[in-house]
Amino acid sequence: MIVHSAWLLRGFLVIAFSAIVACATDPPIPEPTVRVTSTGAPSSGVTPTETIRSTPAITIPPTPVVTVATQVPTAPGTATPRLPTSTPEFQATTAAPDTSAPIPFLIRLRDNLDDPLGYCIDVRGFGAGIRLDADLQAHSCKSNSPDDQSFAMMDDRLVGTIVLVEYEVCLAAADPKPGASILLHPCDDRSVSQGFELLADGRLRLHVESNDSQPELCIGVSDGAGEPAGGRNHLRRDLMLLKCDDTDPILIAWEATPTK
């Protein structure tokens, strides 16, 4: 009995020893390894390819690039403004034409009377023999060379000084009374004798305050037949101030006719 027990103990020890030897000689089971790839600079003591045990595999994505919009948000249904991408260029523009220059015209009597060409306010003489110091006259209208008949208003209204364009002198009454002649003086918009108003009915009235002793005066022509003025059957009449209310309208009604 004792011998049998000894054999059993010996067998048990042999089996246990064999198991221990087997465990000691088996190769170790490798643990999972991963590599961490970093796009940044290496951190303290760890290189981008260093093997770390027992750590799950992690891939660090590259830093995203943020794009900034160059458009300003607008409300729906409106045009989308865009920010300028360069310095704007300024282009030179053509200057607007000067519209302040007076427009020349003939001061023509509405009724031709006895002259087929009609009568216009005119300067005595012509060309080098023009007489700017003489009183004005009514003369046959000139269509081809009206420099001595070309007038213009000095302001936007039909009230004010009337200038002889070519010579830059203005119409002036010799005296504010009936029968006074019409002259040319240096232009002066403050002069009472140079203020004329072209009324709707064609009267060219001296713009002065009227009263019982001072009637309204208008530029008119002498009555009767025209006098021969020489050259191409031209006629002339005297030009003067006449009472606006007591004179035949056909002698004092004028119109501004553009020069050709």
Q: Count CA within 13 A, CB hemisphere, residue 148.
A: 21
Instruction: Compare 59 and 108 and report the one with higher pLDDT.
Output: 108
Instruction: Compare 208 and 101 and report the one with higher pLDDT.
Output: 208
Residue 26 pLDDT > 80: no
Contact status, residue 245 vs residue 218, Cβ threshold 8 Å: no
What type of residue is 22? A
Residues 231-245: tens digit of each pLDDT = 778 999 999 999 999
User: Which residues, at least 6 apart from 107, have a Cβ–Cβ distance to it below 8 Å?
Assistant: 120, 121, 149, 151, 162, 204, 254, 255, 256
User: What mean pLDDT do residues 191-198 have?
Assistant: 90
Q: Structure pTM?
A: 0.60
User: For the residues of 41-74, what is the DSSP string, one character each?
Assistant: --BTTB-TT-EEET-----PPPPPPPPPP-B---
Q: Which fold has domain 105-258?
A: Trefoil (Acidic Fibroblast Growth Factor, subunit A) (2.80.10)
3-class SS at 256? strand
Banded model confidence at residue 147, pLDDT cuts 50, 70, 90: confident
Banded model confidence at residue 185, pLDDT cuts 50, 70, 90: very high
Would you state the pLDDT for residue 82?
47
Residues 70-117: tens digit of each pLDDT = 444 445 554 444 434 443 343 333 444 444 567 889 999 999 999 999
| Across 4-13, 21-30, 152-161, least confident range | 21-30
